């Protein structure tokens, strides 16, 4: 039996403790009709695993990576160094700086290694899901319709 096909969106977490941050974003990915998978692969503690996961997803056709990390927050930058696909960083409010350190780590990437970065925490994670859908909607009409439907619902006061 072969391996499962790569998801359209790969969600990478630096730690299992980051799961609560991304949980509210996963239903949005489903609403947009995007296949996704969540993997825990620390840039610091599991660099070989992270490399394997990104490489396999890249080869398999994953279109967007969402990387969730706190404190030093190297995960999104390392992912961006391993793929030419868009990487969206979600900073986690942890440590003494409550996520500001993670946010700054993600937005201060060197030229040529971009990480699109959203707000700290769950609200940022939801925006990461919407941003991933908007990127994919550029070539997928069904996702574009779902994004438009979501925008109309938001205009009516929905979430």
Instruction: Give me the number of domains the chain comprises.
Output: 1
Q: Is residue 2 domain-resident?
A: no
d(CA 77, CA 88): 10
Residue 24 falls within a domain, yes or no? yes
Q: Which domain holds residue 131?
A: 9-152
Residue 116 falls inside a structural domain: yes
Q: Is residue 1 part of a domain?
A: no
* Residue 4 domain-assigned (yes or no): no
30-79 tens-digit pLDDT: 999 999 999 999 999 999 999 999 999 999 999 999 999 988 799 999 99
* DSSP secondary structure code for residue 97 in this structure: T
Task: Give a yes or no: residue 14 inside a domain.
Answer: yes
**Which residues lie closer than 8 Å to 17 by C-beta, 6 or more apart?**
94
Instruction: Give the global pTM.
Output: 0.95
- Token duo for residue 60: 């398999």
pLDDT beyond 60 at 23? yes
Q: How confident is the model at residue 5 (pLDDT cuts 50, 70, 90)?
A: confident
Whole-number average pLDDT of the chain = 94
Q: What is the pLDDT of residues 106-124, one digit of tens each?
A: 999 999 999 999 999 999 9
Distance of alpha carbon 11 from alpha carbon 1, whole angstroms? 24
Query: Residue 64: which CATH number?
Result: 3.40.50.1970
Please report whether residue 3 resides in a domain: no
Q: What is the DSSP-derived secondary structure letter of residue 85?
A: S
- Number of Cβ within 10 Å of residue 4's Cβ equals 9
Mean pLDDT for 86-94 is 96
| pLDDT confidence of residue 71 | 85
Note the pLDDT of residue 2.
Answer: 55
Domain membership of residue 130 (yes or no) is: yes
pLDDT grade, residue 3 (50/70/90)? low
């Amino acid at each position: 039996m072969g391996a499962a096909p790569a998801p359209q969106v790969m969600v990478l977490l630096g730690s299992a403790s980051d799961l609560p941050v991304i949980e509210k974003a996963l239903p949005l990915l489903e609403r947009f009709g995007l296949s996704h998978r969540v993997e825990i692969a620390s840039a610091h503690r599991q660099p070989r695993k992270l490399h394997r996961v990104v490489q396999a997803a890249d080869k398999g056709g994953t279109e967007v990576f969402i990387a969730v990390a706190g404190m030093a927050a190297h995960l999104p930058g390392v992912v961006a160094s391993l793929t030419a696909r868009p990487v969206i960083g979600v900073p986690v409010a942890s440590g003494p700086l409550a996520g500001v350190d993670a946010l700054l780590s993600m937005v201060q990437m060197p030229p040529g290694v971009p990480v699109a970065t959203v707000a700290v925490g769950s609200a940022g994670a939801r925006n990461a899901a919407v941003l991933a859908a908007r990127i994919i909607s550029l070539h997928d009409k069904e996702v574009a319709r779902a994004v438009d439907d979501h925008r109309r619902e938001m205009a009516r006061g929905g979430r």
